[in-house]
Structure 1
Amino acid sequence: MVLAMVPALAGCTQTVGGSAQSAAPGGPSDERSYGYADNRCGLLEDSTVAQTLGADNVVRPYSGAVCQYVLDREKDVVDVVFAWFDSGNLDRERALAGERGAQITDTVIERHKAFLARRDGIGVACSATAAGGGGVLSWWVQYRHRNNVDPCPDAEKLLSATLKSDL
């Protein structure tokens, strides 16, 4: 009985040509604008930011060149900042984060080269940064008065949501 199944399984295979490719160095289209528009920052609505991080409440006290958010999540207050530098450079941002003492982790987010930059201090903070729109996109997350939480997964989730919305 097993021998009869083997030929059937072999008939279901398919060969796909080409070769695997690593992350695209340029990221999303250079034509894309990630700036503040239509009451959204980084293509995300405030409700999407809150939902992505599981927040009960979100306030955006500033929108412009950067967008600042304050989120309430259970017992935590979380500060979040989105920035898009339309003429930025991923290597330059990575070098600056390193010069400021951040722990750098290279990664790939939604098929785009990126890095996480974590700094411990008064409230641990992390940014997730990737190339996009001819520049760089960055989401920064900091928990107020908490040093025992890793904010990098939250920063990565927000950057992923932004890059997914560009598809």
Structure 2
Amino acid sequence: MKRADLVTRTRIGGALAGSLLLLSGCSSVTAGTPRPVGDLGSGGSEQFADVLQECEAVGDEQIAEAVGADAVGRGFFGAICRWDGIGVAGPIKVTFNWFETGTLEHERAAFEHLGYAVAVIDVSGRSVFQVRQPADPASCGVTAGAPAGGVFGWWVTEPGGGVDPCDAATRLAGLTLNRSA
């Protein structure tokens, strides 16, 4: 056998071995049971459980009324949805989040880790968290367990002082809980 043939075979063998090693290193196994989109694996309202429609949990007109704005404009929609409005005292920012596999315990731990003030309040007969950033009295959030699974939260920021952001976030959480019941 010629030296050139031996070198070629060695290179091909090395390339094949490297390719097999690379391919085997890219495979992985994920534990769990696959579920179709929108299946939260628990009971609850089908109206709220449509994962692709979480930003529709409360209508734009209801959001505007809850925060004291003439109207709200829709922003980014995804796991976190945003609206901007103008109230009597200026701009208002509204944020809605829904994490389909989240827990209230995890959310509370995260808020406390960030140094936020967390209080348990009642909204529509349910215990929920009211969250405040101590350094930002113009912002307030309410986080609740969603009947169909996971957690949702509303944050309202009203720097002009036209509405109480905690009252607005609480009203939005109540609307969401009433819709999802």
The alignment's TM-score, normalised by the length of structure 2, stands at 0.67
Mark the structure with the bigger radius of gyration.
Answer: 2
Q: Which of 95, 119, 122 pairs up with 1:81?
A: 95
- Partner residue in 2 for 1:19: none
Q: Which of 62, 69, 72 pairs up with 2:86?
A: 72
- Partner residue in 1 for 2:155: 140
Q: Which of 86, 104, 111 pairs up with 2:118?
A: 104
Please say if residues 133 and 140 of structure 2, whose CA atoms lie closer than 8 Å, have aligned partners that are also in contact.
yes
| AA partner of residue 65 (structure 2) | Q
Please say if residues 35 and 41 of structure 1, whose CA atoms lie closer than 8 Å, have aligned partners that are also in contact.
no
- Partner residue in 2 for 1:155: 169
- Partner residue in 1 for 2:142: 128
1:41-56, aligned counterparts within 5 Å? 41-56=55-70
- Unpaired runs of 5+ residues, structure 2, are 1-42
Q: Report how far residue 166 of structure 1 moved.
A: 1.9
Please say if residues 60 and 71 of structure 2, whose CA atoms lie closer than 8 Å, have aligned partners that are also in contact.
no
* Aligned mates of 2:57, 2:85 — CA distance in 1: 18
For residues 117-142 of structure 1, what are the alpha-carbon distances to aligned partners after superposition, in whole Å with 9 as ceiling and x for unaligned? 11143562111011012100100111
| AA partner of residue 51 (structure 1) | E
* Aligned mates of 2:52, 2:99 — CA distance in 1: 12
Paired residues in the alignment total 137
For residues 80-114 of structure 1, what are the alpha-carbon distances to aligned partners after superposition, in whole Å with 9 as ceiling and x for unaligned? 10000000000110111111111111012112221
Please say if residues 107 and 116 of structure 1, whose CA atoms lie closer than 8 Å, have aligned partners that are also in contact.
yes
* Aligned mates of 1:120, 1:48 — CA distance in 2: 28
Return the structure number with greater helix share: 2
The alignment's TM-score, normalised by the length of structure 1, stands at 0.72
Please say if residues 35 and 65 of structure 1, whose CA atoms lie closer than 8 Å, have aligned partners that are also in contact.
no
Please say if residues 122 and 145 of structure 1, whose CA atoms lie closer than 8 Å, have aligned partners that are also in contact.
no
Q: Percent of counterpart pairs with the same letter?
A: 30
- Calculate the aligned-residue CA RMSD, in Å: 2.3
* Aligned mates of 2:50, 2:112 — CA distance in 1: 25
Provide closer, same or farther for how the CA distance between residues 63 and 87 of structure 1 changes in structure 2, counting only shifts above 3 A. Answer: same
| AA partner of residue 71 (structure 2) | N
